[in-house]
Amino acid sequence: MLPVVFKKCIALFALCALCSSASAYELTTPYQSGHFALNQVVLEPHETFDDSLRYEITREVQTRNRLHKLYQSSTAVFPADSLGLKGPIGQQMLGVLSIANYSSGQDQIVFNTNAHSATYAGLYFSFAQLKDFIDKKALNSLIPEIMRLPLVITDIPVARSGFDSRGSFYLTARNLALILDLHVEDSVYYTKAQLHAIQGNGKCRIDALVFPERIVPDLPLFISARAAVNYMHCDPAK
pLDDT in tens, 128-179: 999 988 888 878 889 999 999 999 999 999 999 999 999 999 999 999 999 9
Measured between alpha carbons, how far is 145 from 34 in angstroms, rounded to an integer? Answer: 7
pLDDT in tens, 12-50: 444 443 343 456 899 999 999 999 999 999 999 999 999
For the whole model, what pTM was predicted? 0.87
